[in-house]
């Protein structure tokens, strides 16, 4: 076992993105009270990072229009961080005003995706982020960087690991404390994941890396396993597997936190997460959304003999 799992971390930090990435990609829009209750339940499940909302214009992301209300309404558990997305300086300022103490910025490894998603080139987006970084440093606010399309792009197809490494390095050198590498459309497989991580870990220390795998093709857990084997110790996931894939109607998106935690605990890795409490939060939000959970662990557990 040592040969196969010797280098996996003993502890993994789960970054719960359900309230943001999850809800942002659900068809049904839920009211602020529901979002607040979800986040509060997640806070009680042992998670240490819960991405709460996004300070993007409601014109683009109506699901996150109640960003202020949510930010001010959640109970902030000591020891838990509630980062929010900030696409630019304006978003950052609104976030800080709403009480945010950590933010995240979102770059892409694909030019086409950057243009179509945020209407500017990768370079232009990085320059916007530099502005946010300057303000964040001045305010003492930590910033997490995301790189999307790391294993493939819905427009460009294959994405070169070198390009991913370049963007990751830039975000890290700008001052992001952690870089989350996202398989945005879930097309990656373990070979591509290890190739990409090999390239990125040459320019960003593996301790500062996270993986954000989508399960659109069922590959998420296998990809996460390979990442762990390469020393990555931060995994993004979404309770109940919330958030479909905007590029493949009806297909799944985020990997379910319950399924990730099940695997990690099975490997003897500590996460601090209480799985039954997490499943309760998942059951709550799925009920509110009137949808079935995408978590297999939840499905199996609730169907016990």
What 8-state DSSP symbol labels residue 211?
A: E
State which of residues 205, 218, 270, 287 lies at the interface with other proteins (CB under 8 A): 218
Closest approach, Cβ 295 to other proteins, in A, equals 7
Residues with Cβ < 8 Å from 240, sequence gap 6 or more?
Answer: 18, 22, 256, 257, 258, 282, 283, 285, 286, 293, 294, 295, 298
Using the minimum distance from each CB to other proteins, give the nearer residue, 41 or 227: 227
- Rounded CA separation 24/9 (Å): 31
Using the minimum distance from each CB to other proteins, give the nearer residue, 92 or 262: 262
State which of residues 222, 272, 284, 288 lies at the interface with other proteins (CB under 8 A): 222
- Site stretch for other proteins (CB under 8 A), options 36-44, 52-60, 97-105, 187-195: 187-195
Using the minimum distance from each CB to other proteins, give the nearer residue, 277 or 296: 296
- Site stretch for other proteins (CB under 8 A), options 97-105, 137-145, 205-213, 261-269: 261-269
Residue written as tokens 């497989």?
A: 189
By the rule CB under 8 A, 267 interacts with other proteins = yes
By the rule CB under 8 A, 243 interacts with other proteins = no
Among residues 140, 55, 135, which one has the least CA distance to residue 94?
55
By the rule CB under 8 A, 31 interacts with other proteins = no
Strand partners, 143: 103
Closest approach, Cβ 130 to other proteins, in A, equals 33
- The three-class DSSP label of residue 13 is strand
Catalytic choice (176, 245, 286, 303)? 245
By the rule CB under 8 A, 138 interacts with other proteins = no
- Rounded CA separation 141/111 (Å): 28
Using the minimum distance from each CB to other proteins, give the nearer residue, 139 or 300: 300
By the rule CB under 8 A, 110 interacts with other proteins = no
Residues with Cβ < 8 Å from 123, sequence gap 6 or more?
Answer: none
State which of residues 211, 232, 263, 273 lies at the interface with other proteins (CB under 8 A): 263
By the rule CB under 8 A, 176 interacts with other proteins = no
Using the minimum distance from each CB to other proteins, give the nearer residue, 73 or 231: 231
Segments in 12-104 forming alpha helices (H)? 23-24, 32-43, 67-73, 89-97
By the rule CB under 8 A, 192 interacts with other proteins = yes
Closest approach, Cβ 203 to other proteins, in A, equals 17
Residues with Cβ < 8 Å from 222, sequence gap 6 or more?
Answer: 189, 190
Reply yes or no on whether 245 is catalytic. yes
Residue 204 contacts residue 235 (beta carbons within 8 Å): no
Rounded to 5 degrees, φ, ψ at 238 are -130, 125
Residue 178 contacts residue 185 (beta carbons within 8 Å): no
- Rounded CA separation 279/171 (Å): 34
| Binding to other proteins, residues 285-304 (CB under 8 A) | 295-297, 299-300, 303-304
Closest approach, Cβ 278 to other proteins, in A, equals 14
Closest approach, Cβ 138 to other proteins, in A, equals 40
Distance between alpha carbon 183 and the CA centroid of its chain, in Å? 10
Positions annotated as catalytic residues are 245
């Amino acid at each position: 076992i040592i040969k196969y799992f010797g280098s996996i971390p003993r502890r993994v930090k789960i970054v719960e993105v359900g309230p943001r990435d999850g809800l942002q990609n659900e068809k049904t829009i839920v009211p602020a009270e529901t979002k607040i209750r979800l986040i509060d339940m997640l806070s009680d499940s042992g998670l240490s990072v819960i991405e709460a909302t996004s300070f993007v214009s409601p014109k683009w992301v109506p699901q996150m229009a109640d960003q202020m209300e949510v930010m001010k309404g959640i109970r902030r558990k000591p020891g838990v961080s509630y980062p929010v997305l900030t696409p630019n300086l304006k978003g950052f300022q609104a976030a800080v005003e709403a009480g945010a103490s950590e933010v995240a910025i979102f770059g892409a490894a694909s030019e086409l995706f950057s243009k179509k998603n945020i209407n500017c080139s990768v370079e232009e987006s990085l320059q916007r982020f530099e502005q946010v970084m300057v303000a964040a440093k001045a305010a003492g606010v930590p910033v997490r960087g995301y790189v999307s399309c790391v294993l493939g792009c819905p427009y460009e197809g294959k994405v070169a690991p070198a390009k991913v490494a370049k963007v990751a390095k830039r975000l890290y050198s700008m001052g992001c404390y952690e870089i989350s590498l996202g398989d945005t459309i879930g097309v990656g497989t373990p070979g591509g994941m290890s190739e990409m991580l090999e390239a990125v870990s040459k320019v960003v220390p593996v301790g500062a890396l996270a993986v954000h795998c989508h399960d659109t093709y069922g590959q998420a857990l296998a990809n996460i396993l390979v990442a762990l084997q390469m020393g990555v110790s931060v995994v993004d996931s979404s309770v109940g597997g919330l958030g479909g894939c905007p590029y493949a109607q009806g297909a799944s998106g985020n990997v379910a936190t319950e399924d990730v935690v099940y695997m990690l605990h099975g490997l003897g890795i500590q996460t601090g997460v209480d799985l039954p409490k997490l499943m309760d939060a998942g059951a709550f939000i799925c009920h509110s959304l009137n949808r079935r959970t995408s978590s297999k662990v939840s499905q199996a557990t609730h169907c016990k003999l």
